[in-house]
Amino acid sequence: AQKVTQAQTEISVVEKEDVTLDCVYETRDTTYYLFWYKQPPSGELVFLIRRNSFDEQNEISGRYSWNFQKSTSSFNFTITASQVVDSAVYFCALSEALSQGGSEKLVFGKGTKLTVNP
């Protein structure tokens, strides 16, 4: 069965610090997809990134960067120069294909609550 582990339950940093959120996953599939979502206090899950298992290239988007390492089954997320608005719960997720082709469910980690203090 698919499993996603986010070992860090809560992280607190001061504004402008860099912070890395860890994500380790388990899957038997050879093709799979990994995601990161942000959940601010309002509750909506905001999509950040999707990465497929064949693409190990790191990705950078503004202050956000992701490091995918298949060898260690990790998909870590770094926020550079953190800001107060980055405060949220961040979920790492793994897609699991459902029996019907074309639909899948997301298996989420337990989330990491990030607090960025001014």
Residues forming contacts to another protein in the complex (CB under 8 A) are 31, 33, 35, 37, 42-47, 50, 52, 91, 95, 97-106, 108-111
Least separation in angstroms between CB 16 and another protein: 28
Q: How many CB atoms lie within 10 A of CB 75?
A: 24
| Per-residue tokens: 27 | 């899957």
Q: Which is nearer to another protein, 102 or 118 (CB)?
A: 102
Which lies closer to another protein via its Cβ, residue 18 or residue 29? 29
Please report how close the Cβ of residue 12 comes to another protein at its closest, in angstroms.
Answer: 16
Classify residue 32 as left (phi > 0), alpha (psi -120 to 50) or beta. Answer: beta
| Least CB distance to another protein at residue 18 (A) | 25
Give the closest residue to 2 by CA, choosing from 76, 68, 103, 93. 93
